Structure 1
Amino acid sequence: MAILQDFSRTGLFDSSNWWSFLIVAGSALVADYVWMLYWRWKMPPGPFPWPIVGNTFSLPNVKPWYHFEQLSKDYKSPIITFWIGRNPTIWVNDAWAADELLVKRAGIYCSRPRMLVFAELGAGQWNLLNMHTVTPAQRERFRVQRKLTHQGVGVQQVQKYRSFQNDENKVVALDLLKTPNKYVEHFERYATSVVSIIGFGRRISKATDPLITEVIAIMHQAAALNVPGKRFPMLLETFPILAKFPNWMAPWKHGLGKSGTPRQGNNDFFYSLAEEANEREQDNYSKLVFKEGPKYGLHPREVSALSGNLLGAGSDTSSSTLITCVLAMRAFPEALSAAYEELDRVVGGSRSPDFTDDLPYMRAFVKEVFRWRSVAIIGGQPHAPIQDDYWNGYLIPKGSWVQGNVWAIHHNEREFPDPDRFNPLRFMNGPDSRPFPGEKGYMTFGWGRRSCSGQYLAEQGTFLSVARLVWGFRVDPAIDETTGKEIPVDIFNYTDGLNWRPRPFKVNFTPRTEEIRDTIAREGEKALQDLAPFEGETKYQFSTFYT
């Protein structure tokens, strides 16, 4: 009571002071809301925002790309504005608008916006994925990292990887003969092994290797978090002031911004892997990074980011694409007849497909795999214009979030009638095809200067993997042992993360012929012999660096 009396004597509980505070706070709130409505009036259409929180709390709990697709239809606009707190996000739900803005105006939309969760509280500006490119100095660092990445997985460089990529894929076919029920593990091992050989000169021979079990788990966790949301931690993007609280009193920051536990004289996990690889006899990308590092003044965190991006982006996405292919083969067997005919005619059963085979239907088949259920379903991290821009008279402010909705783009009835049907004929220049911007016919790998650096490696490997999978196996329904009935699959049962994949489903793999079975076994054993020089171990595990 004495303390309250002291406060009363000092005037802190004086009613006039409280009224002044409320008036100032209320005026600031009104002014801020007027500012939001003013900008909303100039920007593409979208739902009406609330003060401070914007439209955040109207987000669905999962898979918001469906919601943005529907909003685009409701507002009859290929581009809409959705407010995450006080920050407007421009969602591009149309292929032609995406091409006009993110490709043809790539110089404007080359930067990233301010991102708390995956930049300021994570990798910061050391990583190419999050890097701002507003100032000349920022653009120079971006150019350096992009150049070094292209030297590792650019269109010319990836052709040098075809031999071991082909061998690793032959091993997958052999694994499917032995333990077909573990097909997800086989795909993950294959995809991780290819990028590990490229990045670190070491293949991954077992699905239990920590590089798979730990790193892919982290990729899945990151993909689940990196989606616009109304729950923590993504709610920090709505209320950025909460990021100012120290970690010990901010449970909403749990799991973010870990610095890891560096071993003596070294940095983090990916830097340590790269440093170890630099000492290997086998040629690898890490050697290039260490060789070029002094010339470009690379910080250790940049070395870590360059090596980590290669592994993180290549392992999860490639394996998820192959799982989607299996789902399509099971759900749409009618799409396989033309593939079997082409493969039997061109390849036969005494050998498996390779890069030299002329397989136009299979190339269309792979394009449809990329289109039907693209892994990076919202095109990766958002873009941000480095200056104010206009589209059809609407303002797109400098620094705003601009996100391509790959789901909506690839499921637009105008370009892809009956879009949930898996139909490779869309890409055969026949009656089922429709005009689409660009040469590829899909937008799976993003746009402009922020497109996926590893897309050529992914396209090269996916073509060979899918062609060999279709050549080698029938994917038949799994049978319920209790009822004797076929186990159905659900083509919409996908995970909820930024990089999604089908949730577990059962199928039966059967070699198409006995000759093909023998070929798979023979080629697989020979591939293991050819891959022997890449065998090796690492002394590092992700879990020892991060707690």
Structure 2
Amino acid sequence: MAIVYTLCVSFALVCLYYLTQKILMHAAAPSLPYPPGPRGWPFIGNLLDMPRTNFWEVLRRIRGQYGDIVYVNVVGQPIVVLNSLQAAQDLLEQRSAVYSDRPRMPMAGELCGYADTMAIMPYGVRFRTMRRLTHQFMGSRVAIEKHAVVEQQEAARLLLRILRDPRPESLQKHIRKAAGGIILRLAYGYPMLEDDDPFVRRADAVVAQFSQTAVPGRFLVDAIPLLRYIPDWFPGAGFKRLARSCHSELHKTMDEPMKWVENQQLDRYGKGADGQSFVAMHGNAMVSADDQYMFKMTAGTMYGGGLDTTVSSIYGLFLALVLNPDVQAKAQAEIDRVIGPDRLPTLADREFLPYIGALVKEVLRWNPVLPAGSMPHRLTQDDTYDGYLLPKGAIVVANILCMLHDEGTYCDPAQFNPERFLPTDGRPTEQDPVVACFGFGRRICPGRVLAEATIFLACATVTAVLDVSKAVVDGAVVEPVLESIGPAITCPKEFLCVIKPRSEKAAALVRTAAELDGSN
């Protein structure tokens, strides 16, 4: 009987919500048609077209069927998918005043508490303040130059970990430690423990929880917000228990590093190699309780926003080197010619290493870590584009995977080819992927300059010190493939490879750099 009652109530809520949305949407008949898109079902619209995983694969398919701008409806919620760079720039950048909000996300935002983070925070004064603080600290090359020592020390630590344990199953763990070490040192001045760091363990869990709860279509409460009010004991209310756990973990993760800083002597721990961590630089200026809360969430967002994306890009670099030994050889030749055998590359070498710079761009393009964009935008008023009506309240998704693998923009986009970004014989370079891979408009990733610097150092130091090649199992060469997995932030599926130092001298350089840093 309880099951029948649950079904009846759920169906009634769906019908009520759907009819309400319909009435609101058709209160004034649209003067223009909506963009083309798949036909939906009564009441639920295109809900069944929205998978719980690999959302970007649906976007890839509908682009081929319906074109550069596609319209779908999920239980009355309009969704506009932008499949071309031109459409994304025209709307999300040129009209950013009305495209910079975030959609309401009952599960991730309200129930789990992530609406207080920059990723899905509504556009407004608090968001602009948090973004300004982040930009001042890491949003320009001048700012990043101040953090160069931290970046280079963590790059050396990554190489040392790989040399000590070159097994392919350990590679992603090594990269994760390096990326986490950079962010924790810059944000808090915190020196990460080499083994099982409690801050890292908790932060990784929160990042994983966010990735799971923020996937479009994964939880019915996102399509029917009224469900958030059902009692916890109600059948089917497991999402509320999950949300309560996520909310608790989020605030513990944000609080504990701040408490650690308060308990340390700032002149010893709370300052980075440039003299100041983010917390040390701005913490004293946060006077009110509201300011302190905002500041705490800004510092915590740095880890969540930069970890998985950086790990995916650097792990993708290793896969690309395995699959393209000619690319590895050209990168090593440039390193040998410009840097030589007596030191490791640094951030100061960027302008002298054009092939490594092109390698960074191709890593970002070939394996976009946010194939469906960072997070969807929300349109705050009716708009028109290319003869179509885009309704107020529509969720707007940038299909970055299609943009960076567009055959009209990139020659043989599936091929990993850094030379597409090097002009030769009068041929211009192809479209820089940076214009798309970090998002658009006022919601562009505030840590993109730091991310590019980190990926550059990885490309330069890995090719300077290591040889990465295909594995041989039972006498047969194992051919890895690029297969991205993940709910929102994707990462190449684990692959086999062989990693060796290029020479004993190269390995000695790493050990020396680590010793100077104090690593052991």
The interval holding the TM-score normalised by the smaller chain is 0.7 to 0.9
Name the SS for the 1:390 alignment partner.
Answer: strand
AA at the equivalent of 2:259 = E
Map of 1:402 onto structure 2: 396
CA–CA separation in structure 1 for the residues paired with 2:27 and 2:83:
23
Mark the CA change 1:440 to 1:412 in structure 2 (over 3 Å): closer, same or farther. Answer: closer
Map of 1:152 onto structure 2: 137
Map of 1:427 onto structure 2: 421
Map of 1:253 onto structure 2: 240
CA contact (8 A) 1:36 1:86 kept: no
Mark the CA change 1:336 to 1:400 in structure 2 (over 3 Å): closer, same or farther. Answer: same
Mark the CA change 1:26 to 1:435 in structure 2 (over 3 Å): closer, same or farther. Answer: closer
Q: Residue 253 of structure 1: CA displacement? A: 2.9
Mark the CA change 1:276 to 1:345 in structure 2 (over 3 Å): closer, same or farther. Answer: same
AA at the equivalent of 2:133 = L
CA–CA separation in structure 2 for the residues paired with 1:336 and 1:243:
52
Indicate yes or no: 2:224 matched with 1:239: yes
**Equivalent residues in 2 for 1:144-543 (5 A)?**
144-155=129-140, 156-181=142-167, 182-229=170-217, 231=218, 233=219, 235-249=220-234, 250-258=237-245, 268-280=252-264, 281=266, 282-283=270-271, 284-294=277-287, 298-299=290-291, 301-357=293-349, 358-430=352-424, 436=431, 441-480=434-473, 483-492=474-483, 494-528=484-518
Map of 1:142 onto structure 2: 127
Q: Residue 41 of structure 1: CA displacement? A: 6.5
Q: Residue 93 of structure 1: CA displacement? A: 1.0
Q: Structure 1 stretches of 5 or more lacking a match?
A: 1-20, 134-138, 533-547
Q: Could you report, residue by residue, the CA deviation over 1:180-231 in whole angstroms, capped at 9, with x for unpaired residues?
A: 11221211111111111111111213142133333223323322332223x4
Q: Residue 112 of structure 1: CA displacement? A: 1.0
Mark the CA change 1:341 to 1:36 in structure 2 (over 3 Å): closer, same or farther. Answer: farther
CA–CA separation in structure 1 for the residues paired with 2:111 and 2:50:
23
Name the SS for the 1:294 alignment partner.
Answer: coil
Q: Residue 347 of structure 1: CA displacement? A: 1.1
Q: Residue 257 of structure 1: CA displacement? A: 4.2
CA contact (8 A) 2:206 2:246 kept: no
CA–CA separation in structure 2 for the residues paired with 1:411 and 1:132:
30
Mark the CA change 1:121 to 1:30 in structure 2 (over 3 Å): closer, same or farther. Answer: closer
Q: Which of the two has higher C-alpha Rg?
A: 1
Q: What value does the CA root-mean-square deviation take over the aligned residues? A: 2.8
Name the SS for the 2:491 alignment partner.
Answer: coil
Q: Residue 89 of structure 1: CA displacement? A: 0.9
How many residues are aligned here?
489
Map of 2:120 onto structure 1: 130
Name the SS for the 1:475 alignment partner.
Answer: strand
CA contact (8 A) 1:378 1:498 kept: yes
Name the SS for the 2:482 alignment partner.
Answer: coil
Map of 2:70 onto structure 1: 80
Name the SS for the 1:463 alignment partner.
Answer: helix
AA at the equivalent of 2:315 = I
CA–CA separation in structure 1 for the residues paired with 2:422 and 2:252:
47
AA at the equivalent of 2:303 = L
CA–CA separation in structure 2 for the residues paired with 1:314 and 1:519:
28
Name the SS for the 2:80 alignment partner.
Answer: strand
Q: Residue 508 of structure 1: CA displacement? A: 0.9
Map of 1:103 onto structure 2: 93
CA–CA separation in structure 2 for the residues paired with 1:368 and 1:254:
42
CA–CA separation in structure 2 for the residues paired with 1:30 and 1:285:
44
CA contact (8 A) 2:101 2:380 kept: yes
Q: Residue 275 of structure 1: CA displacement? A: 3.3
Mark the CA change 1:117 to 1:31 in structure 2 (over 3 Å): closer, same or farther. Answer: closer
